[in-house]
Structure 1
């Protein structure tokens, strides 16, 4: 019995160290202030405005591509409030629409709402990056699960943003999204 308890204690320790390590290195360790000096500087009222074309992939928990998508987006702003309408087309033939309602606060703070969010999302725009965290409820056709999401958007140039998102359930990564968002010349 003591050998089993020793094994169990060792396994718990390894899992705890892995979880702590993920918060110290890697995707989850990023902070908005890490990108304060990154140029060009992102201004979401400018860079998430007008027509935007998006292409991306979603990776499953084993790191393999599970879905590919394109999206047509349109951003509109009135003062510190904006709407980003998204129209997704997935390689499965599924279509999905989402409308983000964004509010800019002081010091680069961002609040986000959408019909499929649980509560509100919050984020920070700093230098050439934007971090947004929220809980999203998947459609019933995808299981209806509530997942914690962290979006990182990095401004590449005046027309291009790279978006990397991780989706977690009980702290375990279950999916990742990588996409490019490019402003469309009107």
Structure 2
């Protein structure tokens, strides 16, 4: 009986350390305040506006590339309310469309909705970054699961946006996306 108590205690300790590492170190531990003094300043009304091209990869749960994509974005703003239409074309030929409705609040907070987002996404622009957290429902042909998403965008000095997103189910990372976004050349 004592051996099982040690095994159970060890397993709980390992899980606790894994959780602590995820919460206080690395990607999940970033906060908007960490970037508030960085330049250039990311203003979504300016940098997520007009015709954009996005190129990226999606990594599966084991860290291997599971999909590649190219996307065209068309974003427009009326004051602090924006609409961003996205069309993704994946390496298997499938196409996905999404429309984000964005609202920038006076304190830098962002509210975001889309048809495949459950509830409202919330985020913040701070310094050279934008953070957005939301729950996304996968298409039925991908299981229809709802994943918790943490989406960070980093503005580079030349105006390109680097995007890194992690998708979790029950706290376990099941996918990661890395992409660039930049204005479409005329």
Question: 1:158, CA displacement in angstroms?
Answer: 4.8
Question: 1:185, CA displacement in angstroms?
Answer: 3.3
Unpaired runs of at least 5, structure 1: none
Tell me the alpha carbon deviations over residues 13-68 of structure 1, each in whole angstroms, 9 at most, x when there is no partner: 11111111111110000000101111100010000000000000000010000000
Tell me the alpha carbon deviations over residues 144-184 of structure 1, each in whole angstroms, 9 at most, x when there is no partner: 00000000000003531000000000011000000000111
Aligned pair 1:28/2:15, yes or no? no
Partner of 2:64: 64
What is the CA–CA distance in structure 1 between the aligned matches of 2:158 and 2:78, rounded to whole Å?
21
Partner of 1:118: 118
Unpaired runs of at least 5, structure 2: none
Contact between 1:57 and 1:65, CA under 8 Å: does it hold in 2?
A: yes
Aligned CA RMSD, in angstroms, stands at 0.8
Runs of 4+, deviation exceeding 3 Å: none
Partner of 1:109: 109
Once the two structures are superposed, the pairs formed by residues 14-163 of structure 1 within 5 Å of their partners are 14-163=14-163
TM-score relative to the length of structure 1: 0.98
Secondary structure, counterpart of 2:14 in structure 1: helix
Aligned residues: 186
What is the CA–CA distance in structure 2 between the aligned matches of 1:72 and 1:184, rounded to whole Å?
9
TM-score relative to the length of structure 2: 0.98
What is the CA–CA distance in structure 1 between the aligned matches of 2:36 and 2:159, rounded to whole Å?
19
Aligned pair 1:4/2:17, yes or no? no
